[in-house]
C-alpha cells in the first residue's frame, strides 16, 4: 500500500493532468472547427469542458480540507468515467474519437486504488460506454453521430471495447503491482542504506582515534570529532585544506613501505603536539583508490613522560655524583685559593706573578661557587608549605628586578598582565621566589641588548598559570629539549644549574613547568600550580617540612 503522502501527490497530479487534457482537447477541437465542419454543437462541447474545469477546481480545493484520500480517489475515478462518457456522447457517440480516455481512467484507478478497482472501473466504463451508444442508437437521447451502424455492428463495437478495457485493467494491474513491489524494495534498501550509513557515521564519530580522509589531491574531505579535538579545529575549518599544510613534518605515503610516522603539530595556543599518523588508501570496489585515510594518535604525553624519565635519570645520576665528589673537590680547592692569596701578598712577588695568582684566586672562587650550587642542587631540600598568595611574591621579585635594571641602565621594559589580583597556592614562598628570580634572570641575560619581559597570570580551572615571556633570540628545539637538565647554560659564566634547581622545586610542589620557544621569536617559561584548597587558605599556617618526592607530575619542557 502507498503512503498517505504518495496518494495525496497522485491525486494532485491527477487534477493537474485532467486540466491539461481538457485544455488540449478544447484547443484541438477549436482548431479543427476552423477548417472542417463538425457534426456536434461546439457550444455544448465548450460547456462540457467548463463543467470539467469546475469539477477539477473543486477536487483541488477538497484535497486541502478532506483527509480521507481513498474516498476522494474513488470519487474522482467515478467522476472521470462520467465526464468521459459525456464527452463521448457530445462528440458523436459511436463516431467519437475520445473513447481512448476510458483506458486512461482505468490506468489511474490501478495507480490510486487496489487492483480489484481496476476491473470494477473497466466494467463501469463498459456499462457507461454501451449505455451512451445504445441510448443514441434507439433515439432515447439526441444523437450527434454521422454514421448509423446496425445493431450487431454496434454490439461488436461495444464488446470489442469491453475486451480492450479488461485487457488494459489486467496489464495495468500487473504493471502497478510491479511498481509497488519495486517501491517497497526501494524503500527497504533505502532504509538499509540509511542504517548502514548511520552505522558508518557512528563508528567514525565514536572512535577515540582521530580520523581524516582526503581525496587523491590530498585535500581534506572528512574529519571525525576525535580529530577535531586533537587538532583543535572544527571540520568546517579543515574541509578542503591540504592535509600536509597542518603539520611541520612530512606525512607518510601510502605507496611507500613506511605507512606511519611521527609528526609535529602546532596547536592554536602555540603548544606543540606529537602525533603518530598511519595512512592507508581509501578504495572503492570497481573504482580503485579514490583517496587516503589518515589515523591520528596523540603521543604528546607519552613523549613528555619519556623526557621526564630521562631528566629524572640524569638528575639522579648527577645528584649521586655531586654528593660523592663535592666535598672532596671543595677542600683542596679552599687550600689552593688560600695559598694563592697568601703568595700574592708576599713582598717578593712581582706584578706578573701577582696577576697570575689573582687569576688562580678568582677562578678558585668561581669553581667554589659552582660547587656550592652543585651541593645545593644535590642535597635533599626542606620545604615549609603554606597557603601563600603568589602575586605579592611575584611583585617582590619584580620590584628587585626593576631596581637592578634601573641601576645597571639595562633597556628592558617589564609588562604585567594579571588575570587575578590574588593567586593562592600551597607552596614554600621562599622557594617560589627562587623560581621567579631564575626565570627573570634568564630573561634578562637573553635580552642583553634590551627588550620586553611580559609576566602573565591566568586562571585555568583549578590551576594558576604564570608565564614569563621575553623578546630575546629564543632557543632551538634541541636546546628546549634539554633546558632543565644540569649544565645546559647558554650564557657565558653560567653554571647551568639554575633551571635544574627550578625543576626540582616545581616537582616538589607537584606543579608543571615547561618552556615554549622558537629561534628568533623569544622564549616563554610557563609555571602551572594547583590552587590551594579553601581550608588551607583559611588556615594559612606552615605545614610539616617535606623532602623532594620520588614521583613527579611535572610537565616536561616542550616548545
* Domain residue ranges of the chain, discontinuous segments joined by +: 4-188, 207-298, 303-378, 386-539
Residues 155-165, mean pLDDT to the nearest whole number = 84
pLDDT at 452 over 70: yes
pLDDT at 322 over 60: yes
Predicted pLDDT at 315: 67
162, three cell numbers: 469491453
Say if strands 463-470 and 523-530 run parallel, antiparallel, or are unpaired: antiparallel
Predicted pLDDT at 488: 65
d(CA 126, CA 533): 95
Cα angle 116-117-120, degrees, rounded to a multiple of 5:
95
Between residues 342 and 427, the one the model is more confident about: 427
- Average pLDDT, whole number, for the chain? 80
303-378 architecture in CATH?
Orthogonal Bundle (1.10)
Percent of the chain at pLDDT exceeding 70: 87
Confidence of residue 115 (pLDDT cuts 50, 70, 90): confident
pLDDT at 456 over 90: yes
Predicted pLDDT at 380: 62
465 and 457 in contact (C-beta within 8 Å)? yes
Confidence of residue 491 (pLDDT cuts 50, 70, 90): low
Cβ neighbours for 156, distance < 8 A, ≥ 6 positions apart: none
Fold of 386-539: Heat Shock Protein 90 (3.30.565)
Say if strands 451-460 and 463-470 run parallel, antiparallel, or are unpaired: antiparallel
pLDDT at 494 over 80: no
Residues 321-343, mean pLDDT to the nearest whole number = 73
Residues 216-241, mean pLDDT to the nearest whole number = 88
Question: What pLDDT digit, counting tens, does each position of 495-552 carry?
Answer: 567 788 888 889 888 898 989 888 888 899 999 999 887 555 555 444 433 333 333 3
Residues 299-309, mean pLDDT to the nearest whole number = 82
Predicted pLDDT at 470: 93
CATH 3.30.110.30 for domain 207-298, yes or no, is no
pLDDT at 279 over 80: yes
pLDDT at 163 over 60: yes
Cβ neighbours for 58, distance < 8 A, ≥ 6 positions apart: none
Predicted pLDDT at 555: 35
pLDDT at 268 over 80: no
The verdict on pTM exceeding 0.85 is: no
Question: What pLDDT digit, counting tens, does each position of 10-20 carry?
Answer: 777 777 777 88
Residues 463-468, mean pLDDT to the nearest whole number = 94
pLDDT at 266 over 60: yes
Residues 206-234, mean pLDDT to the nearest whole number = 87
Looking at residue 241, the DSSP 8-state letter turns out to be S
161 and 99 in contact (C-beta within 8 Å)? yes
pLDDT at 437 over 60: yes
d(CA 295, CA 305): 22
Question: What pLDDT digit, counting tens, does each position of 409-430 carry?
Answer: 888 899 999 999 899 999 999 8
Closest CA to 233 of 224, 408, 366: 224
Predicted pLDDT at 118: 82
Residue 457's alpha-carbon distances to 389, 413, 529, in angstroms, are 12, 18, 11
Q: What order do you get walking across the sheet with 512-517 strand by strand?
A: 412-418, 451-460, 463-470, 523-530, 512-517
Amino acid at each position: 500500500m502507498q503512503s498517505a503522502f504518495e496518494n495525496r501527490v497522485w491525486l494532485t497530479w491527477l487534477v493537474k493532468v485532467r486540466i491539461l487534457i481538457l485544455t488540449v482537447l478544447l484547443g484541438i477541437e477549436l482548431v479543427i472547427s476552423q477548417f472542417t465542419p463538425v457534426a456536434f454543437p461546439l457550444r455544448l462541447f465548450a460547456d462540457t469542458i467548463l463543467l470539467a474545469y469546475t469539477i477539477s477546481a473543486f477536487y483541488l480545493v477538497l484535497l486541502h480540507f478532506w483527509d480521507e484520500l481513498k474516498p476522494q480517489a474513488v470519487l474522482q475515478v467515478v467522476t472521470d468515467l462520467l465526464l468521459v462518457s459525456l464527452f463521448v456522447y457530445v462528440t458523436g457517440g459511436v463516431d467519437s474519437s475520445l473513447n481512448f480516455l476510458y483506458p486512461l481512467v482505468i490506468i489511474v484507478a490501478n495507480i490510486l486504488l487496489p487492483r480489484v478497482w481496476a476491473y470494477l472501473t473497466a466494467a463501469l466504463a463498459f456499462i457507461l460506454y454501451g449505455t451512451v451508444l445504445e441510448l443514441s442508437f434507439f433515439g432515447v437521447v439526441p444523437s450527434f453521430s454521422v454514421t448509423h451502424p446496425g445493431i450487431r455492428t454496434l454490439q461488436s463495437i461495444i464488446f470489442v471495447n469491453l475486451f480492450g478495457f479488461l485487457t488494459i485493467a489486467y496489464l495495468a494491474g500487473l504493471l502497478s503491482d510491479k511498481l509497488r513491489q519495486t517501491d517497497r524494495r526501494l524503500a527497504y534498501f533505502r532504509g538499509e542504506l540509511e542504517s548502514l550509513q548511520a552505522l558508518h557515521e557512528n563508528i567514525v564519530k565514536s572512535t577515540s582515534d582521530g580520523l581524516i580522509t582526503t581525496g587523491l589531491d590530498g585535500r581534506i574531505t572528512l574529519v571525525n570529532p576525535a580529530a577535531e579535538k586533537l587538532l583543535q579545529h572544527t571540520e568546517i575549518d579543515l574541509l578542503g585544506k591540504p592535509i600536509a599544510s597542518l603539520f611541520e613534518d612530512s606525512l607518510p605515503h601510502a605507496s611507500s613501505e613506511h605507512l606511519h610516522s611521527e609528526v609535529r603539530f602546532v596547536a592554536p595556543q602555540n603548544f606543540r603536539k606529537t602525533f603518530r599518523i598511519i595512512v592507508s588508501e581509501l578504495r572503492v570496489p570497481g573504482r580503485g583508490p579514490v583517496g587516503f585515510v589518515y589515523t591520528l594518535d596523540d603521543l604528546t604525553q607519552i613523549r613528555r613522560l619519556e623526557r621526564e624519565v630521562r631528566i629524572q635519570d640524569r638528575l639522579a645520576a648527577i645528584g649521586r655524583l655531586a654528593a660523592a665528589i663535592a666535598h672532596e673537590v671543595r677542600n683542596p680547592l679552599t687550600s689552593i685559593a688560600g695559598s694563592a692569596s697568601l703568595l700574592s701578598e708576599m713582598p717578593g712577588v712581582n706584578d706578573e706573578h701577582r696577576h697570575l695568582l689573582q687569576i688562580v684566586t678568582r677562578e678558585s672562587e668561581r669553581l667554589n661557587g659552582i660547587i656550592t650550587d652543585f651541593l645545593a642542587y644535590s642535597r635533599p631540600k626542606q620545604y615549609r608549605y603554606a597557603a601563600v598568595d603568589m602575586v605579592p611574591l611575584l611583585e617582590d621579585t619584580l620590584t628587585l628586578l626593576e631596581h637592578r635594571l634601573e641601576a645597571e641602565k639595562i633597556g628592558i621594559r617589564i609588562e604585567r598582565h594579571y588575570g587575578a589580583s590574588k593567586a593562592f597556592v600551597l607552596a614554600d614562598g621562599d622557594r617560589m621566589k627562587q623560581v621567579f628570580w631564575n626565570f627573570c634572570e634568564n630573561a634578562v641575560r637573553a635580552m642583553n641588548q634590551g627588550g620586553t619581559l611580559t609576566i602573565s597570570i591566568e586562571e585555568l580551572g583549578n590551576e594558576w598559570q604564570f608565564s614569563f615571556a621575553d623578546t630575546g633570540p629564543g632557543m632551538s628545539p634541541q636546546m628546549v629539549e634539554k633546558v632543565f637538565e644540569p649544565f645546559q647554560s647558554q650564557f657565558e659564566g653560567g653554571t647551568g644549574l639554575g633551571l635544574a634547581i627550578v625543576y626540582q622545586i616545581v616537582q616538589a610542589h607537584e606543579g608543571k613547568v615547561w618552556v615554549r620557544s622558537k629561534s628568533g621569536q623569544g622564549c616563554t617559561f610557563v609555571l602551572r600550580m594547583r590552587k590551594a584548597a579553601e581550608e588551607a587558605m583559611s588556615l594559612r599556617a606552615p605545614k610539616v617540612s617535606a623532602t623532594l618526592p620520588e614521583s613527579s607530575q611535572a610537565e616536561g619542557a616542550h616548545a
